[in-house]
């Protein structure tokens, strides 16, 4: 283990935390099937890069007699809300092994959760204290009274995670849509370019101004791998996007129709490289920028980036109340794959810790920036 320490113990149960994922956690996560029965289920194939890319991440294990029962990651995203600088902890890599992994049939009511929390449970005894005081993840900082939030993007059909997050004190502040943008024969654009090093500071300011009315905007991954693309008009960026390549090992596309459709798509030579019956590769679109009135240019950029990268599919995650989501909702033209698999919906859920009311209210009143890469 790397920089491992024990937070809590009770008989044969322990909570341990690491600052870097070890081989045991990597194996545990590779075995974890993402998604829900009856929906798309898959394994990540790029977990090592993802789990080692954060500046300040903590990986928490629940063990019984030394064996992992479950894990959860806390990824630090320091931001400022209503002029208040605070910690923001994104929950990732949540996985619980059977037999403690139940399959609920409904969301629990607040009264049911309150009654359940009175009982001595594994989650209640061991994980809730960390959610109440995440500063203790940093050695020597337990008992901090500094403002912070813990947040997670949870699929609305994922009842187990919904109920778990409610037990941990998270509440819904907004909702988002996840959807595909596809072109089987994407058109290239000669206007697409990547920014030079001397342009990046000004572009970051331009992108930051674009998202100034969003909560949870962080720019630490913009320009990663030199994969920010843009189109300029009059020497100024009018459309931009950050891309990441993602590959999933497919367990089940969700239903017989989707599985048959995936099989048919592999018959097309232009798609065979990126879509197989058990594997799919696509782009994640993040940090999208679009000047008002330049929506057609944005579509030109997104399609041109697909052509340039030899991909056919991209995924986006956008707050339902955001102007960006309205662009795609109104202009449509999202491609055939979107018609096949549709749109998925998730809730942005937050636990507030020592946050002033004026800051908390912004999370309810403003759209949230949803990085597709961090949540796919």
Say how far apart CA 304 and CA 315 lie, in whole Å: 15
**What's the Cα-to-Cα distance from 231 to each of 1, 50, 142, 239, rounded to whole Å?**
46, 28, 48, 5
Residue 261 exposed, middle or buried by CB count within 10 Å (0-12, 13-18, 19+):
middle
Are 352 and 360 within 8 A, CB to CB?
yes
Strand partners, 81: 84
pLDDT of residue 150: 97
Asked if residue 332 has pLDDT above 80, the reply is yes
Kindly report whether the global pTM for this prediction surpasses the value 0.85.
yes
Joined together, the tokens standing for residue 281 give 């590769």
Residues 102-108 have a mean pLDDT of 51
- Average pLDDT of the residues in 253-263: 69
What's the mean pLDDT when you consider all of the chain? 85
pLDDT per residue as tens digits for the range 26-84: 887 877 777 777 777 777 777 777 777 777 899 988 888 888 888 889 999 889 999 99
Q: Are 300 and 191 in contact (CB under 8 A)?
A: yes
Map residue 322 onto helix, strand or coil.
coil
In which residue ranges of the chain is CATH 3.40.630.30 found? 5-177, 178-352
List beta partners, residue 6: 16
CATH homologous superfamily, domain 178-352: Gcn5-related N-acetyltransferase (GNAT) (3.40.630.30)
Whether the CB-CB separation of 179 and 285 falls below 8 Å is answered with no
**Between residues 141 and 214, the one the model is more confident about:** 214
Q: Give CA–CA dist 50/35, Å, rounded.
A: 18
pLDDT digits (tens, 9 = 90+) for 144-168: 788 999 999 999 988 888 988 998 9
List the alpha helices (DSSP H) in 133-177: 159-167
The whole-angstrom separation of Cα 359 and Cα 153 is 20
Q: How far apart are CA 147 and CA 130, in angstroms?
A: 15
**285 contacts 314 by C-beta, under 8 angstroms:** yes
Q: Are 229 and 240 in contact (CB under 8 A)?
A: yes
- Phi-psi bin for 84: left (phi > 0), alpha (psi -120 to 50), beta? beta
The CATH superfamily holding the domain 5-177 is Gcn5-related N-acetyltransferase (GNAT) (3.40.630.30)
């Amino acid at each position: 283990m790397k920089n491992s320490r024990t937070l809590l113990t009770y008989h044969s149960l322990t909570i341990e935390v690491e600052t870097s994922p070890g081989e045991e956690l990597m194996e545990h996560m590779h075995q974890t099937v993402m998604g829900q029965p009856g929906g798309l289920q898959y394994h990540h194939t790029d977990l090592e890069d993802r789990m080692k890319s954060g500046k300040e991440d903590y990986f928490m294990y629940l063990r019984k007699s030394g064996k992992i029962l479950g894990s959860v990651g806390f990824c630090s995203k320091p931001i400022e809300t209503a002029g208040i600088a605070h910690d923001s902890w994104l929950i990732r890599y949540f996985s619980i092994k059977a037999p403690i992994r139940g399959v609920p049939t409904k969301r629990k009511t607040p009264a049911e959760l309150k009654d359940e929390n009175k009982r001595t449970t594994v989650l209640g005894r061991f994980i809730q204290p960390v959610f109440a005081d995440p500063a203790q993840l940093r050695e020597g900082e337990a008992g901090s009274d500094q403002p912070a939030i813990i947040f997670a993007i949870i699929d609305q059909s994922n009842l187990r995670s919904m109920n778990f997050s409610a037990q941990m004190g998270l509440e819904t502040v907004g909702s988002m849509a996840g959807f595909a943008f596809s072109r089987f024969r994407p058109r290239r654009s000669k206007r697409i370019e990547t920014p030079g090093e001397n342009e990046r500071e000004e572009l970051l300011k331009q992108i930051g101004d674009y998202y100034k009315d969003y909560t949870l905007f962080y720019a630490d991954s913009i320009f990663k791998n030199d994969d920010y693309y843009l189109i300029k008009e009059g020497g100024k960026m009018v459309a931009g996007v950050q891309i990441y390549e993602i590959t999933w090992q497919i367990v089940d596309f969700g239903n017989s129709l989707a599985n048959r459709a995936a099989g048919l798509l592999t018959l097309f030579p232009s798609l065979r490289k990126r879509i197989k019956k058990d594997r799919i590769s696509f782009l994640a679109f993040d940090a999208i920028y679009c000047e008002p009135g330049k929506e057609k240019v944005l579509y030109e950029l997104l399609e041109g980036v697909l052509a340039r990268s030899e991909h056919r599919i991209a995924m986006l995650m956008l707050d339902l109340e955001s102007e960006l989501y309205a662009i795609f909702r109104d202009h449509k033209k999202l491609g055939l794959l979107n018609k096949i698999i549709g749109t998925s919906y998730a809730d942005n859920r937050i636990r507030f810790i020592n946050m002033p009311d004026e800051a908390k209210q912004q999370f309810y009143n403003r759209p949230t920036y949803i990085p597709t890469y961090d949540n796919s």
